[in-house]
Amino acid sequence: MRILIVDDTRANLLLLSAMVEKMGYAATQADSGEQALELFAQGEPDMVLMDVFMPGMDGYETVQKIRRIATKWMPIIFVTAAGREDDLVRSIEAGGDDYLPKPLNYKVLQAKINVLFERLRLSRKLEEQNRLLLDYHGRNEEERQTAQEFMNRLLALDKINDPQVHFHLRAAEIFSGDLIAVARTPANHLYAMLADSTGHGLTAALAVMPTLQLFHTMAAKGYSIGAIAAEVNCKVQEYLPSNRFVAAVLVALDEENCRVSVWNGGCPPVALFCSGEAGVRQFDSRHLPMGVLKADEFDDEVEHCHYGEQGCQLLLCSDGAVDIADAASMADGMGRLLQAAQAVDAPAARLSAMVGMLEARLAGKPAFDDIALILIDCPQESETVPIPAQPVHSGAESLGAIAAQEQDEHQAKTEWQFALTLTAPQLRQIDAVPLLLNLVNQIELEGRELSRKLFLILSELFNNALDHGLLRLDSALKHDPQGMERYFEERAARLKRLAEGEINIRLQKISTTLGPCLIVVISDTGKGFDYLATLQVAAMETGMRRHGRGIMLVQSLSGDLQYSNNGAQAQVCIPLHDTGLCAPPGSDGGCKIARASVAECASAGGGA
């Protein structure tokens, strides 16, 4: 510690310096106020012993100037022969911390210096702690902003611009443990996920992050929501501690068939608002949250619902919203949410009505849990417009026929091919179509439209082989709204019981004189199905018929569909660029392979 001693008397300077140095401190001497300021400017001491009465600038004025230029606090003791009460008051007002009368007592001086130095030590320690605290807050704020920006980019809530999706997300803290994700599949089905991690805040937000990228990746490849749920469960169990889990609900909306599919694991019921007598249908949680069960114990079974000819809305909510609506029970909380939604006439106002009710319940207080609401518009069923179709057995001008002929004559070149056989155990477990599409995309396909076309073709042919060839399901069930649900229930039951049977898949890219094409062959070991009758019914009937569309869609996308072996094998030839055999989209002729009338198509087994 360095002490600046200021006194105009030489003897006093020497005496004070000797005392200070005996105490173990370093002494610096100044014989005037002006010199004291010069020495102070060269280096601030840790304490000042100031004489009051000096010629020129006295001690009071010197201390006032020292206090103005000092960068930090230091103790100042006035040392003077004056002992009046007014002098003591003036010393304190000038900026002094203590007062010592002359003649000085060594022990009293030592005690005062030690006490003031202890105050100084504590003051500097507090300053250092404040500095460290400010640094910590600065780093913490920078990290918080970085983390928030990172999570905002991952969540990409500002990019959820699907006109059928409306949502509200409110975090209890800076970060939300509730997550909302929306995606479209290659078949243009709308997928939505609401995930709710244990707790709230940054820890909960980090815990729910592994679900996001997996959801978008698998949705983009066309995996079912059941397969997505199973894979996300594995990731959650892999990354999170055993005391952490994620409640989640996944929904799929198939607008073409007016079908809603739901997987609910630990979330409040999903509500389907329907107009008319249908009222509200709820999909309760039938599964445990993600991360609780191991992969071999996980249940990926999905509920299906055909919502019919009426426009509907689908509501997904987190438990935070239900608890705020009414903490008494989940049933009461859901009841209040549904009551608020149904209190308005316009479906577009339902979300605002529910949010308004929750804000009123909070009454300006912060939410004790994250709140998430998703409202999805389910368009009403419209009358089916028949898809122009080509004959199932293609004519001599078809690309498939040309490719087959050139292969026989060794004029076509095979660029790559692979075959896959799936037996009953794999068929019960594997989502085969996205697996195949992902493989082909890595090898060959470029462009979203071609990838989507191949996905639709593979999906329809594979599902026909499985549903009709091996499971022996009757598509006519789909024509009845209740039958649609029975169809999927029966499909799931038969698939679980499937003990034998195979589906063989072959994909081959060849180069022909008309350009490259992709040949897809899918066959099953079942008894086949009456594809001719299916197409004839689809060709002659319009309206709300929900079966027969798939084959017609495959024909319209490829222009070259061939069935053989009583429907147990289907082959499609897909041009990888314009071969001249297919008219551009929007033209009146469709494919040039065979422009036949409805009657001619029907007689040949084709559709209208």
The pLDDT score that the predictor gives to residue 603 is 29
Query: Do residues 520 and 540 make contact, with C-beta atoms less than 8 angstroms apart?
Result: no
The pLDDT score that the predictor gives to residue 381 is 63
The pLDDT score that the predictor gives to residue 500 is 92
Task: State the CATH class of domain 399-603.
Answer: alpha beta
Beta carbons within 8 Å of 141's beta carbon, 6+ residues apart: none
If one counts every other C-beta atom within 10 angstroms of the C-beta of residue 192, the result is 26
Cα atoms in the Cβ-side hemisphere of radius 13 Å centred on 376: 30
Q: How far apart are CA 512 and CA 514, in angstroms?
A: 5
Q: Please list, residue by residue across 334-346, b when 16 or more beta carbons sit within 10 angstroms of its beta carbon and e when fewer do.
A: bebbbebbeeeee
DSSP 249-261: EEEEEETTTTEEE
Torsion of CA 479, 485, 489, 491, to 10 degrees: 30
- 433 is written with which tokens? 């179509």
The alpha-helical segments, DSSP class H, found in 541-582 are 549-558
Query: Do residues 36 and 63 make contact, with C-beta atoms less than 8 angstroms apart?
Result: no
Of the pLDDT bands very low, low, confident and very high (cuts 50, 70, 90), residue 525 is: very high
User: Angle 550-553-555 (CA atoms, 0-180°, nearest 5)?
Assistant: 115
Q: How far apart are CA 250 and CA 225, in angstroms?
A: 6
Predicted confidence (pLDDT) at residue 321 exceeds the cutoff of 80: yes
The pLDDT score that the predictor gives to residue 83 is 65
Of the pLDDT bands very low, low, confident and very high (cuts 50, 70, 90), residue 82 is: low
Helices then strands, counting H and E runs in the chain, come out as: 19, 20
Q: How far apart are CA 431 and CA 408, in angstroms?
A: 34
The pLDDT score that the predictor gives to residue 26 is 93
The pLDDT score that the predictor gives to residue 388 is 46
Which CATH number is associated with domain 2-125? Answer: 3.40.50.2300
The pLDDT score that the predictor gives to residue 168 is 92
Handedness of CA 214, 217, 221, 225 (dihedral sign): positive
Q: Beta strands 76-80 and 98-101: pairing type?
A: parallel
Average pLDDT of the residues in 216-222: 90
Predicted confidence (pLDDT) at residue 349 exceeds the cutoff of 80: yes
Predicted confidence (pLDDT) at residue 304 exceeds the cutoff of 70: yes
The pLDDT score that the predictor gives to residue 253 is 95
Torsion of CA 321, 323, 325, 328, to 10 degrees: 160
Q: How far apart are CA 331 and CA 482, in angstroms?
A: 27
Residue 557 backbone zone (phi > 0: left; psi -120 to 50: alpha; other: beta): alpha
Predicted confidence (pLDDT) at residue 191 exceeds the cutoff of 90: yes
**What average pLDDT does the structure give for the chain?**
82
Of the pLDDT bands very low, low, confident and very high (cuts 50, 70, 90), residue 299 is: very high
The pLDDT score that the predictor gives to residue 577 is 72
Predicted confidence (pLDDT) at residue 414 exceeds the cutoff of 50: yes
Residue 596 backbone zone (phi > 0: left; psi -120 to 50: alpha; other: beta): beta
Q: How far apart are CA 284 and CA 375, in angstroms?
A: 17
287 DSSP 8-state letter: B
Let me know if domain 156-378 sits in CATH 3.60.40.10. yes
Token pair 């094409």: residue: 517
Q: How far apart are CA 297 and CA 334, in angstroms?
A: 30
Q: Beta strands 413-423 and 502-512: pairing type?
A: antiparallel
Domain limits, the chain? 2-125, 156-378, 399-603
Of the pLDDT bands very low, low, confident and very high (cuts 50, 70, 90), residue 582 is: very low
- 263 is written with which tokens? 């997987």
Query: Do residues 312 and 274 make contact, with C-beta atoms less than 8 angstroms apart?
Result: yes
Residue 510's φ and ψ, nearest 5 degrees, are: -130, 155
Q: How far apart are CA 41 and CA 399, in angstroms?
A: 95
Average pLDDT of the residues in 171-194: 89
Identify which has the larger pLDDT, 596 or 16: 16
The pLDDT score that the predictor gives to residue 538 is 52
- 354 is written with which tokens? 């529910």
Predicted confidence (pLDDT) at residue 192 exceeds the cutoff of 50: yes
Average pLDDT of the residues in 177-186: 90
The pLDDT score that the predictor gives to residue 478 is 67
Token pair 């949410």: residue: 337
Q: How far apart are CA 410 and CA 187, in angstroms?
A: 36
Of the pLDDT bands very low, low, confident and very high (cuts 50, 70, 90), residue 559 is: low
Q: How far apart are CA 94 and CA 394, in angstroms?
A: 108
Residue 202's φ and ψ, nearest 5 degrees, are: -60, -45
Average pLDDT of the residues in 334-349: 90
SS3 525: coil
Comparing 108-112, 128-132, 307-311, 427-431, the range with the smallest average pLDDT is: 307-311
pTM score: 0.70
Q: How far apart are CA 55 and CA 31, in angstroms?
A: 10
Identify which has the larger pLDDT, 481 or 138: 138
Predicted confidence (pLDDT) at residue 595 exceeds the cutoff of 60: no
Distance of CA 182 to the CA centre of its chain: 9
Q: How far apart are CA 415 and CA 315, in angstroms?
A: 49
The pLDDT score that the predictor gives to residue 399 is 67
Of the pLDDT bands very low, low, confident and very high (cuts 50, 70, 90), residue 223 is: very high
Q: Beta strands 259-265 and 246-254: pairing type?
A: antiparallel
Distances (CA, A) of 240 to 37, 198, 233, 237: 64, 11, 11, 6
Query: Do residues 44 and 74 make contact, with C-beta atoms less than 8 angstroms apart?
Result: yes
Calculate what percentage of the chain has a pLDDT beyond 70. 84
The pLDDT score that the predictor gives to residue 232 is 93
End-to-end alpha carbon distance in the chain: 101
SS3 4: strand
Of the pLDDT bands very low, low, confident and very high (cuts 50, 70, 90), residue 596 is: very low
The pLDDT score that the predictor gives to residue 62 is 93
Residue from 50, 47, 61 nearest 93 by CA: 61
Q: How far apart are CA 207 and CA 196, in angstroms?
A: 9
**Burial status of residue 483 (CB atoms within 10 A of its CB: 0-12, 13-18, 19 or more):** middle
Comparing 198-212, 458-472, 577-591, the range with the smallest average pLDDT is: 577-591
Instruction: Indicate the helix (H) or strand (E) that contains 495.
Output: helix 481-497
If one counts every other C-beta atom within 10 angstroms of the C-beta of residue 333, the result is 21
Handedness of CA 355, 360, 365, 370 (dihedral sign): negative
If one counts every other C-beta atom within 10 angstroms of the C-beta of residue 122, the result is 10
SS3 355: helix
Express each pLDDT in 418-476 by its tens digit: 899 999 999 988 888 888 888 877 777 666 677 888 888 888 899 889 998 999 987 77
Highest mean pLDDT among 123-127, 144-148, 204-208, 319-323: 319-323
The pLDDT score that the predictor gives to residue 578 is 57
Predicted confidence (pLDDT) at residue 560 exceeds the cutoff of 70: yes
Predicted confidence (pLDDT) at residue 604 exceeds the cutoff of 60: no
Beta carbons within 8 Å of 484's beta carbon, 6+ residues apart: 257, 259, 304, 306, 477, 478, 546
Express each pLDDT in 487-516 by its tens digit: 888 888 899 899 999 999 999 988 888 888
Predicted confidence (pLDDT) at residue 605 exceeds the cutoff of 50: no
Comparing 22-36, 295-309, 323-337, the range with the smallest average pLDDT is: 295-309
